């Protein structure tokens, strides 16, 4: 009985973590697409695309540390 309860709890924790990962990915994708739209609007794609990629890398790293 105890082992079954632990397995159910582990599965529930994995589901919660999966939902958090999906939200993190959705947020970073949304920020990237909005940033890309702004770059196209101002016709400033190069070299600012590099800044956008850098912001995405930093954002992903910061979101990963909050687990």
- Please give the torsion angle defined by the CA atoms of residues 38, 41, 47 and 51, in that order, rounded to the nearest 10 degrees: 0
Structure tokens at 37: 């739209």
Q: Does the structure show a pLDDT above 70 at 39? A: yes
Evaluate whether residue 3 is within a structural domain. Answer: no
Q: Look at residue 48 and tell me if it is in a domain.
A: yes
Which has more pLDDT, 46 or 20?
Answer: 46
Neighbours of 52 (CB within 10 A): 17
23: tokens are 């939200």
Confidence of residue 23 (pLDDT cuts 50, 70, 90): confident
Structural domain of 56? 24-67
- How many structural domains does the chain have? 1
Reported residue count of the chain is: 67
Instruction: Give the residue carrying structure tokens 């609007």.
Output: 41
In tens, the pLDDT along 40-51 reads: 999 999 999 999
Q: Please report whether residue 33 resides in a domain.
A: yes
Establish if 6 belongs to a structural domain.
Answer: no
Note the pTM of the prediction, 2 decimals: 0.66
Q: What is the mean pLDDT of residues 41-64?
A: 90
């Amino acid at each position: 009985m105890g082992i079954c309860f632990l397995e159910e709890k582990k599965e529930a924790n994995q589901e919660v973590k999966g939902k958090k990962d999906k939200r993190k990915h959705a947020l970073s994708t949304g920020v990237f697409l909005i940033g890309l739209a702004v770059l196209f609007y101002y016709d400033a794609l190069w070299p600012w695309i590099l800044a956008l990629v850098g912001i995405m890398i930093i954002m992903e790293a910061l979101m990963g540390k909050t687990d």
